[in-house]
Structure 1
Amino acid sequence: MKPRYERPGVTDGSTFVSFLRCEDGFDFAWHFHREYELTLITGGSGTRYVGTTVERYLPGDLVLLGPELPHTYASSQWSEAAVTQFRHDFLGPGFFELPQFGAIRSLLSGSARGLSFAATPELQADVARLPRLEPAEQTVRLLDVLSHLGTQTPAPITGAGYAAAPSTAVRDRVDVICRHLQQTHTEPVHLEEIAALVHLTPTSFSRFFRRALGCTLTDYVNQLRVETASRLLTTTSLPITEIATRSGYRNLANFNRRFRELKSMRPTEYRSAHPAATLSPYDANVIGLPR
């Protein structure tokens, strides 16, 4: 039940790999690895899980994740992503310690919490093309992309209270909890039952969860439920009352309050601001990829 350690398909002595991931749906596969991961969503929509942060992804979503940071993408529809995984020393030991690479060094350090970028179409196009380049050009282009990202002001993904893999025992417990809640958050969540999954008393569990994740169990469950509601709001015409119920809320007023806390707008406003048209695949003409 814990996240699997994933080893990227690095071959022929290379120090990084870049590939296009295109599937009918991204399965929930909680994992981590020792490589940095740069991911651009080029088509489809779904939910991105990074550490304990749960957010919707759409075409153009660009993130950089540091080593050992548990993550996954999940969707029930076709999705496509350009993924590049690389080691810290992919250009040689000490390369990024050189003075001229201070911005990239800071970028890589900040990726320990995961970084989300509001990148220009040109930069997105460069990231999307990486899987299609020859190795030498791919290496140069990746360095160029990292250089450009180093000039951006990204948003940290995980909260300040979250630190990846504080210990194997803690991480294993967190992973059991997160996977279980991903599958069951739309049903009533009882503290006693969740605590029993990791063999803790409710009181001990509450302390453990806050220390390990930087938030309460209620806070995390609300993240999951609000993201489920966001998906339903933008992909269905269901009435708000039914969306609230399907997302795990039995009280409409509580649903509206929690949704506004996390999205800074009411559910009806969110639906109006995210029409179904925004879920179309990323424009292939912009990034030069065949459909």
Structure 2
Amino acid sequence: MKAQFEKVSTPIHSSFKAFVYEDVNFNAPWHFHPEFELTFIEKGEGIRYVANSVQKFDAGDFVLFGSNLPHCWKNTLNSGSRVKSLVFQWDENLLGADWIYKDEFYHIKNLLAKSVRGIKFSSQVGETYYNELVSILNKPAFDKLMSFVQLLNELALIDDYELLSSEYFSSSLNIKANARIDKVYEYIHAHYDKKIILNDVASLVSMGDEAFCRFFKKSLNKSLFTFVNEYRINIVCKQLIETNKQVGQIAYECGFESLPYFYKQFQKFMNCSPLQFRKNYLNQ
């Protein structure tokens, strides 16, 4: 599935686009668009990609994407239920040319500047604003716009968030590079539980091993196998939370062939042991 530039079609008589997305899965490929996007996941779980960030997500995920920031959600397991999200998209001229540089919108300007790396608000923030997000979707045009601007200003004053992608990540990947990265994403998504060989992945995008390694590192600021391990560890975390399987069984099912190596990688990415992670979750 090719990564693509997404054309966001804002209703001709509206300043921004606000809608509910609902389907069996999140079907959008790794994509980007000039418009900013604020998304709240009402139903669904899996892996969220934002530039070079790879994290587990579930219901309550509340994220702001900057202009041209590559992103997508991928379901990792079939949960048997549909996915649903509340989505708000707008361009830089939401309130007219250069509106963002007016004193009244100082805080929003700073928020949107930070969104170039992707902003994930805490679950508490998402819970606080969920009803307001739903309300905005159902308001008359003028009230909808004013309420949305007010929401942005309030979010700009919140410090309970994390920036997702590396500050060194460049979102200016060309279409060809995006297509290659998306092929790699799809391959890892389908084969994370098996042995992944560099030459097999490089061949997918018609590149030699060394050229592919340079390309991947330049694109995502990390090596292929660091990316693979991040992906696997996120799925391990999901299994630790949702099942009673033994740690070793989970590790092998997620593609780790050596338990010592698995424990080392888990500690590296999660700053705790798998058993401590499970215990911490159960104690919450």
Shared fold, TM over 0.5? yes
Counterpart check, 1:5 vs 2:5: yes
Provide the secondary structure at the position in 1 that maps to 2:215: helix
Distance 2:8 2:151 in 1: 20
Equivalent residue, structure 2, for 1:81: 85
Counterpart check, 1:141 vs 2:139: no
Equivalent residue, structure 2, for 1:36: 36
What is the one-letter code of the residue matched to 2:84? E
Q: Given the alignment, which residue of 220, 226, 229 partners 1:222?
A: 229
Distance 1:21 1:171 in 2: 24
Equivalent residue, structure 2, for 1:281: none
Provide the secondary structure at the position in 1 that maps to 2:41: strand
Aligned residues: 277
Provide the secondary structure at the position in 2 that maps to 1:200: coil
Q: Deviations over 1:267-287 (max 9, x none)?
A: 222223334x99xxxxxxxxx
Q: Deviations over 1:239-275 (max 9, x none)?
A: 2112111111011221122112111222222223334
Distance 1:94 1:11, change over 3 A: same
Provide the secondary structure at the position in 2 that maps to 1:47: strand
Equivalent residue, structure 2, for 1:47: 47
Residues 152-161 or 63-72, more deviating: 152-161
Distance 1:8 1:204 in 2: 34
Equivalent residue, structure 1, for 2:268: 261
Query: TM-score under structure 2 normalisation?
Result: 0.89
Q: Deviations over 1:125-163 (max 9, x none)?
A: 323433222222111111011101211233211122321
**How far apart are residue 217 of structure 1 and its match?**
1.0
**How far apart are residue 215 of structure 1 and its match?**
0.7
What is the one-letter code of the residue matched to 2:89? Q
What is the one-letter code of the residue matched to 1:70? P
Equivalent residue, structure 1, for 2:204: 197
Q: RMSD of the alignment, in Å?
A: 2.2
Distance 1:92 1:27 in 2: 32
Distance 1:56 1:155 in 2: 14
Counterpart check, 1:247 vs 2:254: yes
Query: TM-score under structure 1 normalisation?
Result: 0.87
Equivalent residue, structure 1, for 2:164: 157
Counterpart check, 1:65 vs 2:65: yes
Equivalent residue, structure 2, for 1:127: 133
Distance 1:109 1:220 in 2: 26
Distance 1:243 1:82 in 2: 33
**How far apart are residue 9 of structure 1 and its match?**
4.5
**How far apart are residue 122 of structure 1 and its match?**
2.9
**How far apart are residue 28 of structure 1 and its match?**
5.9
Q: Deviations over 1:149-189 (max 9, x none)?
A: 21123321112232113333333322222222222222111
What is the one-letter code of the residue matched to 1:33? H
Seq. identity, %: 25
Contact 2:29 2:182 in 1 (8 A): no
